[in-house]
Structure 1
Amino acid sequence: MTDDLMHADVAQIARRPAGAEESARASRVWWEREADDYQAEHGGFLGDTGFVWGPEGLDEAAAHLLGDPAELVGARVLEVGCGAGQCGRWLRARGVAEVVGIDVSARQLQHSLRIDDATGRALAVAQADAQRLPFADGSFDLVCSAYGAFPFVPDAPAALREAARVLRPGGRLVFSVTHPIRWCFPDDPTEGGLTARDSYFDRRAYVEEDARGRAVYVEHHHTIGDWVAAIVGAGLRLTGLVEPEWPEDNEQVWGGWSPLRGRILPGTAVFLSERNEGAAA
């Protein structure tokens, strides 16, 4: 990563293909630049030791999408795209002995260490790319991710195969992403974001480029069918799909999300799956 790319301004927005290396580099660039502002703006909503699945505010403490909390205590858990470690720290606070968080951004992990010091609850973290997890086969009982990494990878089947690889047979993968239907609409929290503009089937990446055409932000669109096929192709069994409704008491605006849009269009999709007992590592 070059210093000039770290400080480059966004000059144009494109819908085009973007490969694994370009996408990972862009994610590092964007999160290194934006981590401070992101944590300042959204840290209170996320909580230092909170597990929120998306901008609707669906809380794992109430949803139990990871399973019976009592059964998690003895599990070994990996959080992919952990950011400042809020979700992993929530698990640690509930007695889960072994939780590891990975993120592509060093600055996000610095915020995780800061919150460790403030809360007295430490989370083991490592800088790593979700497309190449630095763990042995079958290392974890549970892999989870709340908007972390998966929306930013071009090859969903490969990313889910990698997540499945580090799961033990019978282990679970639970992750949330931007709901695919949202790609049809402008990223606008007002009424302007309620009119479909783009094809649901246009899978080209959304890319913010600098003046030289270099990506400084990349997000990838995969349809519901794409995610289901990727889950099955990774040797996993889909056990649930949750589309959280926008609650009446959530009045915040977060980027393109707002109460206006959130009560009409789904903003988040949470996929629940488990690794087949007979699946090869």
Structure 2
Amino acid sequence: MQDHLPQSVRVERRPVDEAESRRANGQDWDRYADEYQATHGEFLGNTGFVWGPEGQTEEDLGILGVVEGRDTLEVGSGAGQCSRWIRTRGGRPIGLDLSARQLQHSRRLDDDSGVPVPSVLGTATHLPFADHSFDIVFCSFGALQFVADIERAVSEAARVLRPQGRFAFSITHPTRWMFPDDPEQGGLTASQSYWDRTPYVEIDDESGLVSYVEHHRTLGDWVRLLAGQGFVIVDLVEPEWPADHARVWGGWSRTRGLLTPGTAIFVADLTNPTG
């Protein structure tokens, strides 16, 4: 969940391939990790599992089902808060993230919490694990909306899951693509097409290089992507904004959240593996 826009960038909408997305977003998260953890660490909790800015937790929603005794992989794990929560419930989690600096924060929280979680540097499109290694693969606002080659990422999740395994992930709700990323009233007026899948790109003015990329898929795109890899969608959770929740996180806020969804959580089971 990004919530920053450096002053020295310009915004464009244009195609960006997987290599450029990976380079830009990996470096961006390395730069931003310290600020992110300082700003949001208390909200996330060292051993907490928050699915999105609305604040709903895995304990509230039960998206993953039973985690005790299960092998889990968190893709885009950041500082490992969600995986650490799973370990406190008897699961066997592993984290994976593109940002080395985020993984350094994960090691810090291992020490601070006394609940260590193994984590590796890697990307969602090339998971460094054997076939059928996990019972659960999940992603809480992690890698998926920063990946260009999303078909490969979903295929990789299916490959490392065991039959009947669960794949669950939260992303910015696709309908948000229509609106400016503004937490105030300006963020409630549609200004661009929901069906325009051209990536959002930030360009560093000094170097001229892409410094951040986010990719949009419609709800229908996600259904087809999951079905194409043998997944059956068992739930689509659209968390409502809690009446007493006042936190502003980037474009997420009470002003918008009481009227329109900000987060979508897909829950899918691998019932018909294609590999």
Q: Return the TM-score normalized by structure 2.
A: 0.95
What secondary structure does 2:252 align onto? coil
Q: Please, which of 156, 181, 185 is the counterpart of residue 162 of structure 1?
A: 156
Q: Distance in 2 between matches of 1:274 and 1:11?
A: 40
Alignment match, 2:190: 196
Alignment match, 2:3: none
What secondary structure does 1:169 align onto? strand
What secondary structure does 2:49 align onto? coil
Residue 156 of structure 1 and its aligned partner are, at CA, apart by 2.3
Runs of 4 or more, structure 1, over 6 Å off, are none
Q: Distance in 1 between matches of 2:189 and 2:54?
A: 20
Residue 10 of structure 1 and its aligned partner are, at CA, apart by 3.6
Q: Please, which of 171, 180, 183 is the counterpart of residue 186 of structure 1?
A: 180
Superposed, 1:120-131 pairs within 5 Å as: 120-131=114-125
Alignment match, 1:269: 264
Alignment match, 2:62: 64
Residue 155 of structure 1 and its aligned partner are, at CA, apart by 2.7
Alignment match, 2:168: 174
Q: Please, which of 228, 250, 258 is the counterpart of residue 245 of structure 2?
A: 250
Give the residue type in structure 2 aligned to 1:262: G
Q: Distance in 1 between matches of 2:27 and 2:8?
A: 12
Superposed, 1:19-58 pairs within 5 Å as: 19-58=17-56
Paired residues of 1:101 and 1:123 also in contact (CA < 8 A): yes
Paired residues of 1:10 and 1:216 also in contact (CA < 8 A): no
Post-superposition CA distance 1:135-161 (Å, at most 9, x none): 111110100110010011123222111
Residue 249 of structure 1 and its aligned partner are, at CA, apart by 2.0
What secondary structure does 2:233 align onto? strand
Residue 9 of structure 1 and its aligned partner are, at CA, apart by 6.7
Give the residue type in structure 1 aligned to 2:247: Q
Aligned residues: 269
Alignment match, 1:231: 226
Q: Distance in 2 between matches of 1:89 and 1:246?
A: 25
What secondary structure does 1:250 align onto? coil
Residue 64 of structure 1 and its aligned partner are, at CA, apart by 0.3
Give the residue type in structure 2 aligned to 1:38: Y
Post-superposition CA distance 1:116-146 (Å, at most 9, x none): 1001000000000111100111110100110
Q: Please, which of 215, 219, 222 is the counterpart of residue 210 of structure 2?
A: 215
RMSD: 1.2
Paired residues of 1:177 and 1:270 also in contact (CA < 8 A): yes
Q: Return the TM-score normalized by structure 1.
A: 0.93
Paired residues of 1:240 and 1:272 also in contact (CA < 8 A): yes
Paired residues of 2:229 and 2:274 also in contact (CA < 8 A): no
Post-superposition CA distance 1:31-58 (Å, at most 9, x none): 0000000000001111110100000011
What secondary structure does 2:50 align onto? coil
Paired residues of 1:10 and 1:208 also in contact (CA < 8 A): no
Post-superposition CA distance 1:165-193 (Å, at most 9, x none): 10011111010100000010000000011
Q: Distance in 2 between matches of 1:132 and 1:229?
A: 21
Give the residue type in structure 1 aligned to 2:219: I
Q: Distance in 2 between matches of 1:229 and 1:10?
A: 38
Is 1:144 aligned to residue 138 of structure 2? yes
Classify 1:9/1:248 alpha carbon distance in 2 versus 1 (closer, same or farther; 3 Å).
closer
Residue 210 of structure 1 and its aligned partner are, at CA, apart by 1.3
Alignment match, 2:147: 153
Post-superposition CA distance 1:197-222 (Å, at most 9, x none): 01001101000001243111100000
Residue 62 of structure 1 and its aligned partner are, at CA, apart by 1.4
